[in-house]
Amino acid sequence: MFYKKIDEGKVISQEEISKDIFSLIIKNEGAKYANAGQFVGVYPKDKSTLLMRPISICETDTDKGTTRLVYRIAGKGTKEFSTLKEGDSVKLLANLGNGFPVDEVKGKCIVLMGGGIGIPPMLGTAKALAGEDVHTVLGYRNSDTFLSDEFLKYSKVYIASEDGSVGVKGNVIDAIKACTNLKPDVIMACGPMPMLRGIKKYAEENNIKAYISLEERMACGVGACLGCVCKTVHKDEHSHVNNTRICTEGPVFDATEVDI
């Protein structure tokens, strides 16, 4: 069901799960309608930080009507969010973006790939694909592998770390290459742009369908400000230029459709 509106949410809980990374659970109406890979806009109460902050949906509980957000403190707005406590009110613009096409890939060998703060939305995607042939490759800087244990409920897990302290030394591409018996039909990924460029190249070289979720700074979240435009291989039928809006046409794209 399509759902995009302002939600007045209520904080159920919040905890710091890693250095400057918080898990925030909010009860809100939009939780019942969210798709894996979508995001919400969270509004700070501090009027000097007026614009909403886009945060990927980590997972939802439709029975309880809750949305879980896992985010890193990156500035004044997210610093404010980290002080939220049980019972506090929070205003959300929910639910934004298109999400991953989970229904289209069922029955195939699926590899989910997440790096850094791009890991949280992949947990909800793994949950949506529970029971399928799912493998998850996660990339970290070091042994601080937040959320990795939770993926084990839904998939096999492979880990890469930049310093080699856990899993394969290197990045997610190094980790998937180390799994010589893993032959994915589909890759779904979220993470920093260099990682997504590497996945796009790897998928093209190995004839694998890939869907990538692009991270970008946003102002409005509804496509009006054109602040989160990225290049595409096709011209937009309205503007007649090779651009698309990440907040509305994305954040998830067929990797072959975007020029990154």
Domain CATH number, residue 26: 2.40.30.10
Answer yes or no: do 202 and 109 share one domain: yes
If you average pLDDT over every residue of the chain, what do you get?
Answer: 90
Q: What is the total count of domains within the chain?
A: 3
DSSP string, 80-138: HHTT--TT-EEEEEEEES----HHHHTTSEEEEEEEGGGSHHHHHHHHHTTTSEEEEEE
Average pLDDT over residues 15-22: 97
- What is the distance between the alpha carbons of residues 215 and 207, in angstroms, rounded to a whole number? 24
Range of the domain at 15: 5-96
Beta bridge partners of 230: 244
Answer yes or no: do 124 and 154 share one domain: yes
Which of 15-24, 38-47, 204-213 has the weakest average pLDDT?
A: 38-47
**What's the pLDDT score for residue 46?**
86
Instruction: Kindly report the pTM of this predicted structure.
Output: 0.92
pLDDT tens digit string along 215-246?
Answer: 766 555 555 565 566 667 666 666 666 677 66
Question: Torsion angle of alpha carbons 235, 35, 60, 81, nearest 10°?
Answer: 20
Answer yes or no: do 16 and 74 share one domain: yes
pLDDT category of residue 257 using cuts at 50, 70 and 90: confident
